[in-house]
């Protein structure tokens, strides 16, 4: 059991960062390849100037996600993504303001985002872990 705990402490943060970042890298890339559709979706949700805001969202998701995976400036990357997720969650998963057929799905998406934000807070508090560029030996 002790060996398992040691392995988990060594490899767990890397696996956690990869799992946490995957959704942002995939989402950011999806925004790049579907720029016009994403901008239209944002406009439909009432976002002002989606063509100006969308590149920022792409940068936060892609760059932040890659930095998390690499474990380089991981605390800053986690903070940027965390702050990005606050308005994103409120605007795009507002389960309190959708029709009854969408409430459950949007509530689940809202809670999923809160869980991801919890993981990001963990990275902000404890750093990237041993297998990261932040902790490489000099």
Determine, yes or no, domain membership for 138. Answer: no
* pLDDT 10s digits, 28-47: 999 999 999 999 999 999 99
| Per-residue confidence (pLDDT) for residue 135, from 0 to 100 | 87
Determine, yes or no, domain membership for 13. Answer: yes
Domain limits for position 112: 2-129
| Rounded Cα distance, 29 and 95, in Å | 26
| Per-residue confidence (pLDDT) for residue 137, from 0 to 100 | 63
Average pLDDT (68-96) is: 97
Confidence at 136, pLDDT banded by 50, 70, 90: confident
| Per-residue confidence (pLDDT) for residue 7, from 0 to 100 | 94
Q: Per-residue pLDDT for 92 more than 70?
A: yes
- Nearest in space to 84 (alpha carbons), one of 125, 120, 108, 42: 120
Average pLDDT (89-95) is: 96
* C-beta atoms surrounding 69 within 10 Å: 22
Determine, yes or no, domain membership for 28. Answer: yes
| Rounded Cα distance, 89 and 46, in Å | 14
Q: Per-residue pLDDT for 2 more than 60?
A: yes
Q: How many domains does the chain have?
A: 1
Q: What does pTM read for this prediction? A: 0.93
Determine, yes or no, domain membership for 135. Answer: no
Determine, yes or no, domain membership for 17. Answer: yes
Average pLDDT (96-122) is: 97
């Amino acid at each position: 059991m002790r060996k398992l705990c040691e392995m988990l402490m060594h490899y767990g943060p890397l696996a956690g960062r990869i799992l946490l970042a995957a959704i942002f890298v995939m989402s950011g890339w999806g925004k790049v390849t579907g720029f016009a559709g994403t901008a239209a979706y944002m406009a439909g949700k009432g976002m002002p100037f989606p063509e100006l805001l969308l590149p920022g969202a792409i940068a936060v998701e892609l760059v932040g996600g890659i930095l998390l995976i690499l474990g380089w400036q991981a605390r800053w990357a986690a903070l940027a993504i965390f702050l990005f997720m606050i308005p994103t969650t409120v605007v795009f998963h507002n389960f309190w303001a959708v029709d009854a057929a969408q409430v459950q799905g949007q509530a689940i998406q809202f809670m999923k985002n809160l869980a991801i934000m919890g993981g990001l807070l963990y990275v902000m508090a404890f750093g990237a872990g041993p297998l990261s560029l932040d902790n490489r030996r000099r």
